[in-house]
Chains A and B, each alone.
Chain A
């Protein structure tokens, strides 16, 4: 039955942000496709737009030379996911940020404290800009831009930061809108 909602009364959801893996259970039958993640099967019901969105995600997360380091892009995405309240995306991006940056302590501060963040320096400037781009209405204030410029982020790095933060605003709305996080079924 494709057009019924799957309820998950027995599921145990996370109650705090962490970078340990978080599973995801769809609320709609995702359809067939052996070896493909449930999220990709379900999101593909929108036709080829999901393939384009996947190519966009690939490009924004690791595409291109120079610019913001992949770990910094992941940190920006983690800040967005945390602010919006998405346990699954926060965990995945926080783990990628730790792998890329080798700064587990700073990532833990983001996970535990959220935004506004006590983080300073370059990483603090990145997460506060990502948080401002997740607000409604979205935008960077002079203060956020000043911090980015103080940390000598160049035009390309700022474009990468804007893309990474904006795109996670899309991904989180799919993840929160079509299913729920789980700590029991990974």
Chain B
């Protein structure tokens, strides 16, 4: 990555390099570069290992599509389609599943005690039988897990990992899967935060004129 290249975050957030916010982001060169490196390592791995490129990008697209941040959603769905032109129907299916299961978050249960009152009910996503046939057991289990960690992570338990192992996931695969879910959860928030700040900044500049 050269100095003049924009990182994914800058592209999706619409941060121009010479703008005040762009300069502030570049005043954090290590955070900027390592964010991009994490993205490259998880979504463009030299060796896919226990999680295929298709699986990494399908899960990333699903997590992004659950968040209602249009640029990030469009980017990760496009990345999935670019993996193989034959994957366009899969990308449509992923978007459809995300739209059908999106819900405001975070929610989930707290342990019995002083926090019980803060427990918040919400849906548990289960892939239906017809979709499961199309996606296969492995990817279906991965999307169910991604929904859990994206929207109600405090409901995660060892039984969620049992479900992944039963669907054919390995330990190392589960860790990669969790890292992909985490990365997209991070990126979408930097993009959404910067975009909303840029919009508010623009509005107050206009109001001051």
Contacts and interface: CB of A to CB of B under 8 A. Distances in A.
Interface of A: 2-8, 13-17, 27-29, 42-43, 45-50, 52-53, 55-56, 58-60, 63-64, 66-67, 83-86, 114, 133-142, 145-146, 149, 154-156, 158-160, 162-163, 165-167, 169-174, 176-178, 180
Contacts of A162: 189-190, 193-194, 197
Pick from B68, B114, B171 the residue with the most CB of A within 10 Å: B171
Contacts of B104: 135-137
Contacts of B90: none
B189 A133 contact: yes
22 contacts: A2-B172, A3-B170, A6-B158, A15-B114, A29-B171, A45-B176, A46-B179, A47-B49, A49-B183, A133-B189, A136-B106, A138-B193, A139-B69, A140-B200, A141-B196, A156-B28, A165-B189, A169-B182, A172-B153, A174-B179, A177-B156, A180-B157
**Chain B contact residues: helix, strand, loop or mixed:** helix
A28 B150 contact: no
B179 A138 contact: no
Interface stretch (B32-40, B80-88, B127-135, B136-144): B32-40
Contacts of A66: 27
Contacts of B179: 43, 46, 49-50, 53, 174
B123 interface: no
A45 B178 CA distance: 11
Interface of B: 20-21, 23-25, 27-28, 30-31, 34-35, 37-38, 41-42, 45, 49, 66-69, 102-106, 108, 110-115, 118, 145, 149-151, 153-154, 156-162, 165, 170-172, 174-176, 178-179, 181-183, 185-190, 192-197, 200, 204
A152 B179 CA distance: 35
A180 B41 CA distance: 27
A56 B106 contact: no
B3 to A, nearest CB: 17
Contact of A142 (B149, B174, B195, B200): B200
